Chain A
Amino acid sequence: MTRAEVQDAVVGALLSVAPELSAAALKPDVPLRDQVDLDSMDVLRFVMEVHRRTHVEVPETDYGRLATIAGAVDYLAGRMAVV
């Protein structure tokens, strides 16, 4: 996957959990909890969706690394062979 594809996967996973969001309005460096209303069930569904799209298993202890879109892309790219 390219970095852009990882970003698409993260945003796509987020939109699948919170379909009311607009991709264009999401700010990559602002914590998701400050721009999206997510409860723990949503976070789990987001992590499951990220897994489905990127095949990266995010352990519970690493959830904090997904706090922003940019952070999530960095983290996932680091776990994958990103070109």
Chain B
Amino acid sequence: MSVTLHIDDVAVTVPEGATILDACRARQVDTPTLCYLENLTPVNVCRVCVVELEGARTLVPACSRKCENGMKVKTDSERVRLSRRMVLEFLASSVDVSLADDMQRQMQRYDARPGRYGAEARTVAQPVKVDNELYVRDYSKCILCYKCVEACGTDAQNTFAIATAGRGFAARLRMRVLRELHRRLSDGRADVHFGTRDARRGHVGRITPCQDRYHLRLLRGWLHADRACPRRRDRQSHLADGSRGDERPSLHQGPLRLEIRQTQTIRDVVGRATLAPNFDWLTLLCGADLYGRPGQRKPEWSQTVQFITWFLNPPPVTVVPTEALVAISSVAVVIWTGGFIVRGWMKSTAVALMAGMNYLQFAFFASVLALLSNTLTLRCLAVGFLFYYGSFFVHHSARLRKREPEVELFLPYLDQVRVKGTQFWLTLQVIQLLPIAVTILWPTPQVLAWCCAAMIFLGYQIILAFVYSDLFEQRKQDVSNTS
């Protein structure tokens, strides 16, 4: 049996039981969804997929409305566009959706302007909850798509550990099951092994702990494409209790072990789709966290592909005036000091070298400022500099070692210090490379600006050490001359 309906005046035939969304996708009509996932029961709460159905008083959700013969659906009418825009605005004005790339794209498409509600608009923001080793909760990123509730409930896990509590705007997801676990962890009654075990080989490996994963996510290093640990995908975690016999498996009694079993089932149940547009609210060691996209087994080079994807998709940037100011003033100081060095202490090659480096540094940060709006360029540039500096050091290290076997420093608190030339240059090099590395990992002007500030401080210390050691030497000579 099949049904025929009209989508934007084009007849579409779909099998009976298909939803309007299925029909739209069959027609290649780009329909945004947030709370929809192929393998979960539609909850149709986000209302971003609404379409106009002829004869219906209100708009209907495409993700759950079944197709009927003779339906006339409009997917891009003024009403539909307004509703989608407003829903995106509502979410973006109340939730931190900065990590939800697809949603950002939809917001651009529908011209959503969440700023319209003013600065006093209420948000769901609250501090990140990191209170245990098992899960991290960032409620300010939760759009209440119910996917974790569904997956934890009858759609996959049948664990029912996550449920909505409260009402209206105050509604939040609550997790009940792990609270006791947390309590037991904190008073030493339970122990967590972040281990993985392959059912066939009995291999025990290590998976990335939750908090690390959370921070990787913030750095966008943890891709939606791979929610499981990078090495071994398709795992289902299991909270198993060690107790046996007539005792009910309970969280109160017995030693507790967190075991991650490798299984195929979870992939079969929910695969082939990214879990959530903004799932970053919850980094959790349970099945809900492990659904991957796509479901097919990935070839071994997938990590390289992942790295390239990650590298080519830096986060969007917002220029904050304060930080930009800090960066600019840092550069100004670098110019000023650099000039000093070149004018006064050109006598040794090493110092000249350092001056040159400072100028390179300056050039680097200047380009940072010039390219503030494009983080991808920034990241590429940083990589370029990394290679340039690296080759510079490799090239000249032998010469430096020969020419300056020892460097005399006059450090503020340690008096005169004599260090090996290589060590000194290595330290200097590492300090120089630090902001570049940070830039690659996290190409935002804010981070960079504060790195600049830190660099200036360190650079000053080094320069002063040089200056004072020279002055000290000079004074010693003066004293011996006069005597």
Decide whether A and B assemble into one complex: no
Residues of B within 8 A of A (CB): none
Residues of A within 8 A of B (CB): none
